[in-house]
Amino acid sequence: MSSPDAPPEAAPGAQAAALDGAPVTDELPSAIPAMWRLGKLGYQHEPRLMAASIGLALLAALPDALLAVLLAILTQGVIDQDATMVAVAAIGLGLSVTLTWFLSVVSTRVQRRFRDKVTIALESHVARLQASVTTIAHHERPEYLDRLAVLRDQTFVLDHLYLSVFSTAGWILRLGVTVVLLAAIDPVLILLVVLAVPTVVTSSWRPAVERTVQEQVAESQRLAGHLFQVATTAPSGKEVRVTGIGRRLAADRRASWERWYGPIAHARAASALWHTAGWLVFGLGFVGAVVYVASVLGRPAAEVVLVLAAGARLTAYVGATVGEIGFLRGVWMDGAIRLAWLEDYAAVQAQDADAPAPTELGPGIRFEHVDFAYPGSTTAVLRDVDLTLPAGAVVAIVGENGAGKSTLVKLLSKLYEPTRGRILVDDVDLARVPADEWRDRLAGAYQDFFRFELHAGRSIGVGDLPRLDDEPAIRTAVDRAGAADVVTKLGTAERDGLDTQLGPTWPDGVEVSFGQWQKLALARGFMRDQPLVLVLDEPTAALDAETEHALFERYADFARNAGGAERLTVLVSHRFSTVRMADLIVVLDGARVAEVGTHDDLLAAGGQYAELYTIQATAYS
């Protein structure tokens, strides 16, 4: 797990809502500084290998670039029938070929070594950045998702980026030497390089155009991938078969694949056409140059050979330089920009958190006129929530599905920031508390808990990372969660339940039912001994009402008698038999707080709570 401080159920966290208005994190940074930053990053990690790689790449380029000179000398030697000259040229040619080969082998080895080392450094850099962002909003906003998807795929290719820079340096050197040779014959020949400009323009423009299209249709690509997964993997297998939607999924996947690939193929074809036109211009120029030197200037054969050889090389060099630069622009620059964006984004998140997380709760937690809409959406999920959750209390939140109960819990866990209003923890704005410190004070189980496919003991232990393998602590948590039966059942004659690998796809892994997963998640939530805030978001929905009731009764006693250390327990449940035990009940209705009070208050008030309670009580009796 990448973020030791995040509650295990939370996706490795990241922040955003508070900054949604901040353009600095929304716009992509500019290219040159971003590339410079990425270059520096490589140098910081492997300064010597990076210097050696560039030096060798340049050295390896030289013999190749000077080949045209040797060919010209050979021609002159043949014409003059000068045996020494011919021999020198022939030996030079042989050496040049051998050296080119030898140096490029050595240089490739060194570069690969550099690449391997730097790739690992970069990948962990990206992973660390993603995990350091404190809310999870960037995992959900479609435009950020697409941005991150590109970055993630490109972390893969990042290894090629530096190699590409080295070889670009080599090609530029070859090109420079060739230009000097041509200019020595006649400065007009430098025009050849100008004629190569259209090819440079088209090939550096191509990837940008294709990438724009790719971003526009990235959503279809994501959909196609998702449908493929739904159609072919085990978790969805049962429902796919029972509902018989297999064919439909295949057709939909095909359609969305085409929605993705069609525009891209079109953009590629169009840009290829322009590219061809660019090369045509250069080709005509080259033929013109040879004719010019031979017929117009009437230069000796050796010089015509030099132009022919250097010019022919020029096409290859320009092609390679342009190709490399195109690749650099397409992948390196793009990757660098996204990486710089992520770095800035993560940095802005850390900036405003200047208040230490409290070590104990005084009066409690106040929601002050809190509004909340999920990032990228304008629908208010919570509206003007104004609430005091007193320290030491067990607070129950009730309401219909979609009323915003889980959202309230997520705000309390600082997985998102309120869109408007504040959450005060004993008068300190939660927005100013560093998210990782705050989450150290939290414990609990979330409705959409994660299934950690580890050994059972560890999948519980991650609830309190310092005590990951602390068996007594894990057993205590198991007891608190009433999950002892699950652990016993996982065990066999020769193996303790806690040592059982969860998840059937692993060696010796066992299949675990939803209810069992839920109990394990609950145990994980109970790992921390002294959390300031404990959140329990329908963690026992898979248990029967009586077990849930017993569990909470035990837990509420424990919470209330916490030995002076006041804590707050927030419980979401649909079962009124459990809810009625709470000290305070908050009824959410359509994003607003409808009622607040104790069970008796609310029954007496005869409002929504009283009505729902009566319905359930009648149903159970």
Ligand X SMILES: Nc1ncnc2c1ncn2[C@@H]1O[C@H](COP(=O)(O)OP(=O)(O)O)[C@@H](O)[C@H]1O
Query: Where do contacts with Mg ion occur on this chain (CB under 5 A)?
Result: 405-406, 447
370 binds ligand X (CB under 6 A): no
Binding piece for ligand X, criterion CB under 6 A, among 96-104, 151-159, 206-214, 403-411? 403-411
Question: Do 189 and 77 touch, CB atoms closer than 8 A?
Answer: no
20 binds ligand X (CB under 6 A): no
Binding piece for ligand X, criterion CB under 6 A, among 91-99, 351-359, 374-382, 613-621? 374-382
Question: Do 503 and 493 touch, CB atoms closer than 8 A?
Answer: no
**Distance in angstroms (rounded) separating the CA atoms of residues 271 and 196:** 17
Binding piece for ligand X, criterion CB under 6 A, among 13-21, 222-230, 239-247, 396-404? 396-404
**Which of the listed partners (Mg ion, ligand X, none) does 374 bind, with a CB threshold of 5 to 8 Å by partner kind?**
ligand X
Question: Do 13 and 135 touch, CB atoms closer than 8 A?
Answer: yes
Tokens of 525: 């939530």
**Distance in angstroms (rounded) separating the CA atoms of residues 206 and 88:** 45
142 binds ligand X (CB under 6 A): no
406 binds ligand X (CB under 6 A): yes
**Which of the listed partners (ligand X, Mg ion, none) does 147 bind, with a CB threshold of 5 to 8 Å by partner kind?**
none
Identified binder of ligand X from the candidate list 98, 377, 492, 598, rule CB under 6 A: 377
Tokens of 172: 């530029």
Between the CA of residue 581 and those of 30, 153, 393, 546, what are the distances in Å? 57, 50, 11, 13
Given the complex with ligand X, which of 70 and 587 has the nearer CB atom? Answer: 587
Min dist CB 576 to ligand X, Å, is 16
16 binds ligand X (CB under 6 A): no
Binding piece for ligand X, criterion CB under 6 A, among 287-295, 398-406, 472-480, 609-617? 398-406
540 binds ligand X (CB under 6 A): no
β-pairing, 568-572 with 533-537? Answer: parallel
590 binds ligand X (CB under 6 A): no
> ∠ at Cα 553 (552, 556), nearest 5°?
75
Identified binder of ligand X from the candidate list 403, 411, 443, 602, rule CB under 6 A: 403
Tokens of 122: 């970069």
Q: With helix as H, strand as E and coil as C, how does 111-170 read?
A: HHHHHHHHHHHHHHHHHHHHHHCCCCHHHCCHHHHHHHHHHHHHHHHHHHHHHHHHHHHH
Write the DSSP symbol of residue 428: E
Binding piece for ligand X, criterion CB under 6 A, among 177-185, 401-409, 513-521, 606-614? 401-409
For helices 83-132 and 47-65, what crossing angle results, to 10°?
Answer: 150
Min dist CB 15 to ligand X, Å, is 14
Identified binder of ligand X from the candidate list 407, 501, 518, 569, rule CB under 6 A: 407
63 binds ligand X (CB under 6 A): no
140 binds ligand X (CB under 6 A): yes
Identified binder of ligand X from the candidate list 211, 338, 405, 528, rule CB under 6 A: 405
Min dist CB 591 to ligand X, Å, is 8
Given the complex with ligand X, which of 391 and 396 has the nearer CB atom? Answer: 396
Given the complex with Mg ion, which of 221 and 406 has the nearer CB atom? Answer: 406
Given the complex with ligand X, which of 176 and 402 has the nearer CB atom? Answer: 402
**Which of the listed partners (Mg ion, ligand X, none) does 450 bind, with a CB threshold of 5 to 8 Å by partner kind?**
none
**Which of the listed partners (Mg ion, ligand X, none) does 292 bind, with a CB threshold of 5 to 8 Å by partner kind?**
none
In this structure, how many other beta carbons lie within 10 angstroms of the beta carbon of residue 355?
A: 16
**Which of the listed partners (Mg ion, ligand X, none) does 326 bind, with a CB threshold of 5 to 8 Å by partner kind?**
none
Min dist CB 375 to ligand X, Å, is 8
Write the DSSP symbol of residue 426: T
Identified binder of ligand X from the candidate list 189, 381, 391, 435, rule CB under 6 A: 381
Given the complex with ligand X, which of 205 and 374 has the nearer CB atom? Answer: 374
445 binds ligand X (CB under 6 A): no
Min dist CB 376 to ligand X, Å, is 8
Between the CA of residue 578 and those of 25, 82, 351, 552, 567, what are the distances in Å? 44, 106, 41, 7, 19
% helix, strand, coil for the chain, step of 5: 65, 10, 25
Q: Identify the residue whose tokens are 């290829």.
A: 272
Dihedral angle of Cα 418, 421, 426, 429, to the nearest 10 degrees: 70
Given the complex with ligand X, which of 377 and 598 has the nearer CB atom? Answer: 377
Identified binder of ligand X from the candidate list 43, 274, 292, 374, rule CB under 6 A: 374
Q: With helix as H, strand as E and coil as C, how does 524-574 read?
A: HHCCCCCCCEEEEECCCCCCCHHHHHHHHHHHHHHHHCCCCCCCEEEEECC
Q: Per DSSP, which regions of 374-508 are E strands? A: 380-390, 394-399, 420-425, 428-429, 442-445
Min dist CB 586 to ligand X, Å, is 11
433 binds ligand X (CB under 6 A): no
Min dist CB 582 to ligand X, Å, is 16
**Which of the listed partners (Mg ion, ligand X, none) does 140 bind, with a CB threshold of 5 to 8 Å by partner kind?**
ligand X
**Distance in angstroms (rounded) separating the CA atoms of residues 373 and 467:** 36
Given the complex with ligand X, which of 402 and 466 has the nearer CB atom? Answer: 402
402 binds ligand X (CB under 6 A): yes
Nearest to 556 by CA among 541, 577, 587: 577
**Which of the listed partners (ligand X, Mg ion, none) does 482 bind, with a CB threshold of 5 to 8 Å by partner kind?**
none
Identified binder of ligand X from the candidate list 81, 401, 505, 561, rule CB under 6 A: 401
Min dist CB 574 to Mg ion, Å, is 10
593 binds ligand X (CB under 6 A): no
Given the complex with Mg ion, which of 447 and 476 has the nearer CB atom? Answer: 447
> ∠ at Cα 412 (407, 415), nearest 5°?
70
Min dist CB 382 to Mg ion, Å, is 13
Helix (H) or strand (E) holding 369: strand 364-373
77 binds ligand X (CB under 6 A): no
Burial 145-159 (b: 16+ CB within 10 A, else e): bbbbbbbeebbeebb
In this structure, how many other beta carbons lie within 10 angstroms of the beta carbon of residue 389?
A: 25
418 binds ligand X (CB under 6 A): no
| Pairs from 291-296 (Cβ < 8 Å, separation ≥ 24) | 292/186, 292/188, 292/189, 293/185, 293/186, 293/189
**Which of the listed partners (Mg ion, ligand X, none) does 81 bind, with a CB threshold of 5 to 8 Å by partner kind?**
none
Q: Identify the residue whose tokens are 């940008």.
A: 208
Min dist CB 416 to ligand X, Å, is 9
Binding site for ligand X (CB under 6 A): 140, 374, 377, 381, 399, 401-407
